[in-house]
């Protein structure tokens, strides 16, 4: 009878230990994400991929615009230089014409 009591006590201890492990596993599993979290993560990933593609598109457009701005600045500088050169030639010609007209009129006599 003592043997059966010891055996019963040992079974109770084993049972209590298994119940304790079962409760610990339940706590661990309750902290694990469920299928709804996996679906939400998947939705966030596709949204992030979409936004990333949009950002790449905007970045490419921005680079293209920077390139155009640089081209326009270069063109503006070139046209400015051409304008200065044209003005210089115009005033040189005007000066020559004035000198030529003054020479045609002859010396001024007093």
Per the domain annotation, does 110 fall within a domain?
no
pLDDT of 110 reads: 54
Q: How many domains does the chain have?
A: 1
Per the domain annotation, does 107 fall within a domain?
no
Residue-by-residue pLDDT tens, the chain, 110 positions:
777 788 888 888 889 999 999 999 999 888 888 888 889 999 999 999 999 999 999 999 999 999 999 999 999 999 999 999 999 999 999 999 999 888 877 665 55
Per the domain annotation, does 21 fall within a domain?
yes
Per the domain annotation, does 41 fall within a domain?
yes
Per the domain annotation, does 83 fall within a domain?
yes
What DSSP state is assigned to residue 104?
Answer: H
Distance CA 60, CA 64 (A): 6
**pTM to 2 decimals?**
0.53
Distance CA 110, CA 68 (A): 65
Per the domain annotation, does 72 fall within a domain?
yes
List the domain range (segments joined by +) for residue 11: 2-29+36-102
């Amino acid at each position: 009878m003592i043997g059966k009591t010891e055996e019963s006590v040992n079974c109770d201890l084993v049972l209590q230990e298994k119940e304790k492990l079962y409760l610990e596993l339940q706590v661990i599993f309750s902290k694990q994400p469920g299928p709804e979290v996996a679906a939400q993560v998947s939705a966030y990933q596709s949204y992030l991929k979409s936004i990333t593609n949009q950002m790449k598109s905007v970045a490419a457009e921005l680079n293209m615009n920077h390139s155009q701005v640089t081209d326009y600045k270069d063109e503006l500088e070139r046209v400015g230089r051409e304008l200065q050169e044209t003005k210089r030639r115009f005033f040189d010609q005007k000066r020559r014409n004035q000198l030529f007209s003054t020479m045609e009129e002859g010396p001024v006599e007093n």
